[in-house]
Amino acid sequence: MFRNASLFAALGLLLLPDAVAQPASTHTGGVFPMHPMVEGVWVEKLVGDPEVPDAEFVIRIHHDPGYFVLPHTHPRTENITVLSGAWALGMGARLDRSKLVPMPQGALGVVAPKMAHFGYAKLETILQVHGIGPFLNLPVDPVFELSAHGILAKPSLLKPGVPTTAKPDCFKLRVGERIHGRMGAGTVAGALCSPSNLFTEYWITKVDGKRYWATLDELRPAS
């Protein structure tokens, strides 16, 4: 959905899906119909501001297909409803695909405060999350982001990466590299890795502008 990401990547400002959000909502009530996410917006604020302590909030989060949310925690209870797509939720401090529990459209998942968990979007998915702020997404173990500007650290999964002196050896592909994947040919727009989980996923932009995520074993160099 973020068709201008190549421009940001060229400037070294790669914004991965969980990093772009609208300003705080000023709504005081009413109906919030289901609709496609606004282009370039990955976190839509419907009610309140998730960063405000002790205040209610409701947000919608968009995930491209194939995206794994790495193990993380929240200081307060997280309530997740699947509005569209196909989501799966797993509990634990390590990314273990066997622990993922499918959540079809309409399903509700509840995560207790400070409980380590992870997720997976099999299809393009929109989640609705509500709770009491602050809604912090704190990785259990260090997470790194690959951008055209280099490797960045991710102290929060909902914030852009920050400069780091660490040099994790987990990115085998480069931004802009052409590849073929299970969902078509494209170029690498970015990547995330967790050395502790021995896991790396690449964000791929197809020629039609659509995006998906894939692991290295699902990709091959373009001929």
218 in helix, strand or coil? helix
Left (φ > 0), alpha (ψ -120 to 50) or beta: where does 29 sit? left
Alpha helices in the chain (DSSP H): 5-10
pLDDT, tens only, 140-184? 999 999 998 899 999 999 888 999 999 999 999 999 999 999 999
The number of beta carbons lying within 10 Å of the beta carbon of residue 33 is 5
Q: What's the rounded Cα separation, in Å, for the pair 203 and 80?
A: 24
pLDDT at 6 > cutoff 90 = no
**pLDDT value of residue 11:** 27
Averaged pLDDT, 36-53: 87
**pLDDT value of residue 24:** 56
Structure tokens at 175: 């931004």
Domains present along the chain, CATH in parentheses: 17-23+36-136 (2.60.120.10), 144-221 (2.30.30)
Averaged pLDDT, 96-118: 97
| Omega cis (within 30) before 134 | yes
**pLDDT value of residue 126:** 95
pTM: 0.87
